[in-house]
Structure 1
Amino acid sequence: MSQELFATRHLGIRPEDLPAMLKAVGVQSLDELIEQVVPHDIRLPKRLALPEPVTEWQYLEEVRSKALRNKVYRSLIGRGYYGTCLPPVIQRNVFENPTWYTSYTPYQAEISQGRLEALLNFQTMVVSLTGMEIANASLLDEGTAAAEAMIMSYGLRSRQAVKEGRNLFVVDTEVFTQTYDVLVTRSAPLGIELLQTDLDSYQFTGKEFGLLVQYPDAMGKVRNFKGLTERAHAAEVLVTVAADILSLALLVPPGEWGADIAVGSTQRFGIPMGCGGPHAAYFATRDKFKRSMPGRIIGVSVDRHGNPALRMALQTREQHIKREKATSNICTAQALLATMAGFFAVYHGPEGIRRIAENAHRAALLAHHALQKAGYKLAEGPFFDTILVDSRGEAVIKLRKLAEDAHFNFHHSLKGIGLSFDELTTDDEVEWVVELFCQAQGKRAVPLPAEVEECIPPELRRTSPILTEKVFNSYRSETEMMRYIYKLEQRDIALNHSMIPLGSCTMKLNSAASMIPLSWPEFGNIHPFAPAYQMVGTREILQETEDFLAEITGFAKTSLQPNSGAAGEYAGLLVIRAYHIANGQRQRTTVLIPASAHGTNPASAVMAGATIVTVDCDTKGNIDIEDLRRKAEEHRDTLGAFMVTYPSTHGIFESRIREMVDIIHRCGGQVYMDGANMNAQVGLTSPGYIGADVCHLNLHKTFAIPHGGGGPGVGAICVAEHLVKFLPGHSVVYMGYHPEAIHAVSSAPWGSAFVVPITYAYIRMMGPEGLTHASQYAILAANYLAAKLKDSYGVVYSGETGRVGHEVIVDCRNCKADYDVESADIARRLMDYGFHAPTLSFPVHETLMVEPTESESKAELDRFCEALEAIRAEMEAIKQGNADREDNVLKNAPHTAPELVANEWKHPYTREQAAYPLEWIRECKFWPYVSRIDAGYGDRNLVCTCG
């Protein structure tokens, strides 16, 4: 073969480096190391039954042939997904730029200022358009955002309302079907009662705590909800609005007519439909509810020099800290998509957004007028971009055929035919659509009117300004926009700068070959509710990916619907819940969770209606088997599931994992395996082979979908045969039906289907041997770091043979006592060395958890170790009295360029020590944009929009 296999490019460790690394670890071969790390009794007896690998060129040819099997018809279906134009300046400089798509969630704020500003722009855009007071930095999709609003409203009930047992959430009949489906899923485990009814005539009974309306509604009508809102508030009911954000450029925003929460999708702001996602949802509310709002919030603070600096605010609300007391299990946003939507608003500005909204509205007015003139009956009432045509009988059949022959998709329902116009609509297109309707009646085409009368009454038309902030009024030329994006890009560390050594986050290579097809219209311009024959290529990729993942995990079937890792946890637990209910054991709601588990585990379990029982860990970090046995027996009659991460959250392959599984099964429970650390399992063992019943997979970790600065994510779940019939279905798209299947867990049938081809590419190009080698090399890299750092820092946990898994916990717990240095100081000093910090103080306080992955080279691992060794020397200088205990390079890190070039330098160490502590840093210095951020100041003085 003339071309090299992809694995040789993906795996960072070169064959010539293996001998030195194996020698450092103290083994003769890679096989010997794996034997010492992975318990022999769970090793797979045979290689994965996956197709042989293809080269990058072969893959692109193969996926091109699949793309061409899709039929890209012009979609006027609407229903939450619309045609839009991603400006090329954003496509090339953000969507296709690894600085933006390979960066991590901005927990290390000092080296994340670019994407933090981009997300602050997004929040400001949402606040401006919705008329609310505060917004978060995105949620997963419109349906799950609506569910989060329902749950937040439920949590905000007064003591009296709780005492009265208010548990009714009322949903208007004209809310999108897919949104209601998610509400059904999310309400049941929490004891929330749903009622879908016509809210125009609804009389409150005293049982309600919240309601949801769609604005404009699902049939396109713009309704005045001010009176309903006043009646709801009088009844102590919170009002949530699912609002089309583009329409709010023309319509009175929810905040102005009294809504409490506004949610929706920002897909219309330049994000491809992509068969349903990922798209950034928005969530906005009143300032008084800010501490109850789910998701991440970007806030303005200051650094140690008093300069403005951005960070994630109010983090104590999140499940990482609250665990089972959290009111949400949100762990992933849609940061990359929110960034793109925010840039869309920056580039177009208020006049551009209004122009786009007016274009969609004018097209609907023209079509409405012409179709009425042609003799069609249309739904009455004001509308924004969607009209409903009353058409029945043979004319409908004929019209569907005419439309499909002309490559148009309309929305067909029992109420009529819906036409949703958008940014891409032209007068010619409207004429074409009208002509199709005329042909269906056997009539001559009706010309479009020169002028049309406005249908939105004054009381519903927006008069307040939008997007008044400077950032939305400064960058109109492509040159200026490109430079603004690049300015922010320079403030962030991403994988194109250096290794991002975060434990359990698997920041591996996101290959260019796997990303290229995402720019193709054959994948991007597919509506999720388009007919199946139009997405043959996409469905083939989705089905093959599901099959690949089932083989890799050792399970029977996969669902790609969950669109984040936490959503995958939740979906897996709901499948287990449904299984118990089907077996007449509804009482099985106790979930055992190790003390070391990630915070989303207990949070997801609570969202799934479970009662949490914590299982202790022993002094070596392993799950205490006897405590597990004792608690499983104690809760035998109510035991629903055991949630276990494997390798453990401490990075260890616990040898007694099968014993744990047996304990749970004997007590009637199911075993849920968290796939956060699947990067160490693939090809070596599997959840199914170990004996688990369900697992979720973070495709944005193990399977190479980019992290995107905090999203998108995909949390696919794989299940054993006895759980297959409970996998989530969908109310709009037929996905195989079983009466006991759980309802949808996301708005779109395949969740974030648009990014699944990345995982497909990874598996196809790696092949069974490459995937196995990836796990082996990840384990080698972690043990190499452990060997290099054990003397200077120490390793907190290791397995029975003294080995770690694919990640290593570096011990910094003595640094406070010995040097008055905290792990956070080390993390910030690493920024001066050009590295993102490892995972900080999790799962063990005052430690650094490092996961090097398989895609980093020995040279990069050595640089990282050299940086940590140099920092150790800097700490020793403090201990020896050669550096000031307060004014030193660690306490003042990171150091910014303005500080280093200032005329005055008051520190006892040199500028060179601050900026260039090692010689190789001079070659490509990353300059942190701000210095150490005052987190407390930002929370005490909360500002979540740009000026």
Structure 2
Amino acid sequence: MMRRFALRPLQMFAGARFAHDDYINRHIGPNEAETAEMLKTLGATTLDEFIAKAIPANIVRPPMKEFKALSEKDALSHLRHLMSKNKLHKSLIGQGYYDAILPPVIQRNVLENPNWYTPYTPYQAEISQGRLESLLNYQTMITDITKMPIANASLLDQATAASEAMYAAFQAHKGKRAKFFVSSTCFQSTIEMLRTRAAPLGIEVVVGDVASVDLADPSLSGILVQTPDATGAVHDFTDLFAKAKQKGVFNCCGGDLLAMCVTKPPGEMGADIVLGSAQRFGIPLGYGGPHAAFFAVRDDLKRSLPGRLIGVSKDANGEIAIRMALQTREQHIKRDRATSNICTAQALLANMSAFYGIYHGQDGLVEIANSVHLKAKTLAIGMESAGHEVVSKSFFDTVTVKLNSVAPSEFVARCAERGVVVAADLAGGSVTIALDEATMESHVTSLLEAAGLQQPVYKNLEALARQRAGFATEVARKSPFLQQRVFKSYQNEHELMRYIQRLSRKDYGLTHGAIPLGSCTMKLNAAATMIPMSWPEVNGLHPLVPDDHSRGYSAMCLDLEQKLKEVTGFAAVSLQPNSGAQGEYAGLRVIRAYHASKGEGHRDVCLIPQSAHGTNPASAVLAGMKIVVVKCLPDGRIDVKDLEENCKKHAKQLACVMITYPSTYGVFDSDIVTCTTMVHEHGGQVYIDGANLNAMVGVTGPGFFGGDVCHINMHKTFSIPHGGGGPGMGPIAVREHLAPFLPNSALGPKVGGSQSFGQVSQAPYGSASILSISYMLMTMLGSSGLRRCTEYAILNANYLRKRLEQHYPILFVGDTGCVAHEFIIDVRGFKKSANVEAEDVAKRLMDYGLHAPTLSFPVAGTLMIEPTESESKYELDRIADALISIREEIAQIERGEQPTENNVLKNAPHTARVVTAADWTRPYTRQLAAYPSSHTVLEKYWPTVSRIDGAYGDRNLICSCVGIESYKD
């Protein structure tokens, strides 16, 4: 991409400054006195001294290039100046993106509410009932509108969902049918993504006219069609799908939720998989994201469904409770047996779309759909009146027009003069115009004026449009939808606001306390970084606008790339991958493309240590690689001898090694340089999983100990909110020799390398709008602040480790006795001594008002703790005090003072309903159950359900609702 602009110097934004304006002082938890006390506990006098002890000397980096921190006010002013370079014209480009109206009640109470954007994935379902209910509503909305039996809790984007559909068809035939047909009228980004994803698995993607598909081809696994398609045409694929089923061919259909409100849904046509984007249900454009994709399947595919599935179960008291169903299917658990590398969703956006559906209900959605369709018909009649030919005879919201008296380029220019952007096929002489909920009469009038219609009178054209059918009667929807109580009860603002708040009260987020999940990094989501998400300059841009419309985004992304290069020590960055798993996949495809460019495309062996992050094997499988596991030593380090043996054994086929650093065991491996050097000597590349980059920024980096490529979990290192299970971003950084192979985009700005392997996200910059969050954080912290965050992440973890090591075994420590930013406590011995397991400890922590650490990962029966740099010493001590108190509760069982079954741990968590019940027959007091510490007396957090029976829910799978109130009735 051409970069023809310069950044305004940051210094010009700096006004009067005081010490308390330094944001680093707001972001770091412990103050100066607390830091000194913590260092004393660890036997150190200064932070520099302690960090020098914790980090292996041979990987320490030189100081980062300095860039000064701005105050929150100045950083907002700086970003606003950048984003003012964007042109906010009305975009009618389509291609899967449409302007939408986000109801203010949802914007204020969900998007801008930390009770919704700070919780993590609902692994502890008892304290996640609010967002789980909302995601169940989302799944129900999708199944109802698509008329499919089951839907997941969202995927990353529509193009990724299409890839998952192709995978499903391929796997259903056990890889024996390796051809997949795609209609040429699907969105171009979808077609490009399918080609990218198919290549390493040997799947042949055939793109063509659906009328020409040979369903009798014995190698054909599935077909993907779309309605309405990219030209706007509405189809009924009932006959096609029936013929395909007879041949055992999977029917995959891209669809539009708003169109399905008034047109025949693919589920009624016989589709096996229906996919698309929920973006137009109230989600801003955001220059490409984040947006929730929907993915719905026939019932017998539910156990191979990619992503997350929310289901209804019951708790220990027989009450209805919700949790993630079939959790053992998650791809980071299946590792090299994975059929997908998706391990997250777009939960925050899915929840917003669910509330949009609840707010409008069936009647409101049908009204919106009819309004959009009427505008499209009005435009079509006006275009015909101007002498042009409307190509789409059956359409919903998108009209393709063959221009007769004006060249497409001239029409586009005239539209631009009127503040409207449209898509043109210059060679074909046509334009495609996609209307939406936010399209106004003035926009349609401007389009008709640009087409040469003199003084169009909208009302007259609209009157004619009302008499015209935009699509055939047989394609019209006849079945009702969203008839459940939840979609009929909250259609005034008062009631929806109360429902949203009622759900949020059932959830535990960073608003309540620390979420010390190891490997997941739940740090502070600074309020100032979130403010731009509500700016039109940030959330109002279509991802395919002309380059001169997105100069603000280009400037921000260029500066962000420079900062990420400095952080990692690498030469080039791609911001496209929109999750950590997508970053892994992109990095591995870059490595494979590099080997192929050297005539070594046969290199396909990926070495993965036991300590690596769980999605690594899944991503490697999808990149067409063969997995070889490398052993780890008892202290958590990579077994160098085993690595060497595998390097020698697979030298001719060695593509790369994937190393999570510091490891998922929470260790800075002192042998890392030896390991990376060894792989290079045998012709391989080194992939560093950047899941734990937050333990390296400013003190080391992948480029300083032999890495060639890494992905960056922006939500973990640079504070993009997890939103209850997504969104995230996973950019990759590479050495110079890998830069030519970075991912590109079929449409929009050219962001990739000269020899790009393809596309990994639907939009050129992935979920671009949330990059502004990380950019703001980095701008407010400055280079020295970024390093300070790393130092305190390591300090806080080691302080907690020191406080707990006399009470629990610490599973792995480094050579110096220190851990990195996280550590694992081993509770496996309590199974024998007290019949207590890690899950019991996790559930009991809820009674103490705390979120449990990561449970049974990466080692079964353990707890992995990561406090982050943002937690204060008070909060660290609250965690330590609770775990020490629980250890004494275990000791009471060990001493025979409490029974091994009916005790305070086995019965945890305790709800208000349980402890206030008339009958209390348990061998411990109500007070011990509900108020086990002084902290809980000050502020009590109540789980809303008792321990959930997950196995019951999996045996009796219910993944949509008739309104959760109905279950309770």
How far 1:256 sits from its partner (Å)? 0.6
Alignment pair present for 1:344 and 2:359: no
CA displacement 1:679-734 (0-9 Å, x = unmatched): 11000001011111000000010111011111001011000000000000011123
2:64 corresponding residue in structure 1: 48
1:935 corresponding residue in structure 2: 950
Counterpart Cα distance in 1 of 2:751 and 2:222: 33
Tell me which of 353, 368, 371 is aligned to 2:365.
353
The answer on whether the counterparts of 2:448 and 2:456 sit within 8 Å (CA) in structure 1 is no
2:436 corresponding residue in structure 1: 422
Alignment pair present for 1:231 and 2:238: no
Alignment pair present for 1:148 and 2:156: no
How far 1:395 sits from its partner (Å)? 3.7
1:624 corresponding residue in structure 2: 639
1:142-221 to structure 2, matched below 5 A, reads 142-157=158-173, 165-204=176-215, 205-221=217-233
Alignment pair present for 1:313 and 2:329: no
The one-letter code matched in structure 2 to 1:22 is L
The one-letter code matched in structure 1 to 2:259 is S
Alignment pair present for 1:270 and 2:282: yes
The answer on whether the counterparts of 1:369 and 1:452 sit within 8 Å (CA) in structure 2 is no
1:786 corresponding residue in structure 2: 801
The answer on whether the counterparts of 1:435 and 1:445 sit within 8 Å (CA) in structure 2 is no
How far 1:599 sits from its partner (Å)? 1.7
2:396 corresponding residue in structure 1: 384
Tell me which of 417, 422, 446 is aligned to 1:432.
446
Tell me which of 765, 779, 783 is aligned to 1:764.
779
How far 1:736 sits from its partner (Å)? 5.0
- The percentage of counterpart residues that share the same residue type is 49
1:433-472 to structure 2, matched below 5 A, reads 433-438=447-452, 447-450=460-463, 451-472=466-487
1:405 corresponding residue in structure 2: 417
1:97 corresponding residue in structure 2: 113
2:625 corresponding residue in structure 1: 610
2:708 corresponding residue in structure 1: 693
Counterpart Cα distance in 2 of 1:811 and 1:176: 50
Counterpart Cα distance in 1 of 2:783 and 2:395: 54
The answer on whether the counterparts of 1:438 and 1:444 sit within 8 Å (CA) in structure 2 is no
The answer on whether the counterparts of 1:208 and 1:237 sit within 8 Å (CA) in structure 2 is yes
Tell me which of 123, 140, 151 is aligned to 1:107.
123
1:70 partner SS: coil
The one-letter code matched in structure 1 to 2:691 is A
Counterpart Cα distance in 2 of 1:129 and 1:240: 16
The answer on whether the counterparts of 1:438 and 1:445 sit within 8 Å (CA) in structure 2 is no
2:542 corresponding residue in structure 1: 527
Tell me which of 821, 824, 828 is aligned to 1:813.
828
Tell me which of 135, 149, 152 is aligned to 1:133.
149
Alignment pair present for 1:15 and 2:26: no
1:516-915 to structure 2, matched below 5 A, reads 516-736=531-751, 738-915=753-930
Counterpart Cα distance in 1 of 2:909 and 2:304: 33
Counterpart Cα distance in 2 of 1:248 and 1:107: 33
1:246 partner SS: helix
Counterpart Cα distance in 2 of 1:721 and 1:763: 24
The answer on whether the counterparts of 1:646 and 1:677 sit within 8 Å (CA) in structure 2 is yes
CA displacement 1:857-897 (0-9 Å, x = unmatched): 00100011011111111111111222222111100000111
Q: 1:499 to 1:444 in 2, by over 3 A?
A: closer
CA displacement 1:654-680 (0-9 Å, x = unmatched): 111000001100000000000011111
The answer on whether the counterparts of 2:375 and 2:462 sit within 8 Å (CA) in structure 1 is no
The answer on whether the counterparts of 2:590 and 2:757 sit within 8 Å (CA) in structure 1 is yes
1:705 partner SS: coil
CA displacement 1:902-945 (0-9 Å, x = unmatched): 11112111111111011221222111010100010000000000
CA displacement 1:442-481 (0-9 Å, x = unmatched): 7876841413311211211110001111111100111100
Which consecutive segments of 4 or more residues in structure 1 shift more than 4 A?
A: 442-447, 736-739
CA displacement 1:631-675 (0-9 Å, x = unmatched): 011000000000001111111111110000011000000000000
Counterpart Cα distance in 2 of 1:589 and 1:94: 45
Counterpart Cα distance in 1 of 2:150 and 2:231: 29
Alignment pair present for 1:920 and 2:931: no
The one-letter code matched in structure 1 to 2:316 is R
How far 1:843 sits from its partner (Å)? 1.3
How far 1:50 sits from its partner (Å)? 4.3
Counterpart Cα distance in 2 of 1:698 and 1:393: 51
How far 1:739 sits from its partner (Å)? 4.8
Q: 1:817 to 1:444 in 2, by over 3 A?
A: closer
Counterpart Cα distance in 2 of 1:181 and 1:712: 23
Counterpart Cα distance in 1 of 2:493 and 2:594: 55
The answer on whether the counterparts of 1:786 and 1:795 sit within 8 Å (CA) in structure 2 is yes
The answer on whether the counterparts of 1:674 and 1:695 sit within 8 Å (CA) in structure 2 is yes
CA displacement 1:223-271 (0-9 Å, x = unmatched): 2211111221122110100101111101111111101000100000000
How far 1:737 sits from its partner (Å)? 6.0
The answer on whether the counterparts of 1:368 and 1:387 sit within 8 Å (CA) in structure 2 is yes
Unaligned 5+ segments in structure 1 are: none
How far 1:202 sits from its partner (Å)? 2.4
How far 1:286 sits from its partner (Å)? 0.5
1:671 partner SS: strand
The one-letter code matched in structure 2 to 1:510 is N
TM-score (norm 1): 0.98
Counterpart Cα distance in 1 of 2:406 and 2:443: 24
The one-letter code matched in structure 2 to 1:12 is G
The one-letter code matched in structure 1 to 2:101 is C
1:701 partner SS: helix
2:436 partner SS: coil
The one-letter code matched in structure 1 to 2:178 is N
How far 1:434 sits from its partner (Å)? 1.9
Counterpart Cα distance in 2 of 1:231 and 1:346: 37
Counterpart Cα distance in 2 of 1:860 and 1:783: 14
The one-letter code matched in structure 2 to 1:61 is S
Counterpart Cα distance in 1 of 2:266 and 2:751: 38
1:496 corresponding residue in structure 2: 511
Counterpart Cα distance in 2 of 1:250 and 1:444: 28
Alignment pair present for 1:62 and 2:78: yes
CA displacement 1:555-592 (0-9 Å, x = unmatched): 00110111100110010000000001111001100000
How far 1:27 sits from its partner (Å)? 1.4
1:30 corresponding residue in structure 2: 47
Tell me which of 473, 485, 497 is aligned to 2:500.
485
Counterpart Cα distance in 1 of 2:398 and 2:76: 38
TM-score (norm 2): 0.96
How far 1:392 sits from its partner (Å)? 6.0
How far 1:393 sits from its partner (Å)? 7.4
The one-letter code matched in structure 2 to 1:782 is A
How far 1:293 sits from its partner (Å)? 1.0
Tell me which of 292, 301, 310 is aligned to 1:298.
310
Counterpart Cα distance in 1 of 2:410 and 2:380: 20
The answer on whether the counterparts of 1:557 and 1:718 sit within 8 Å (CA) in structure 2 is yes
Counterpart Cα distance in 1 of 2:377 and 2:642: 68
2:335 corresponding residue in structure 1: 323
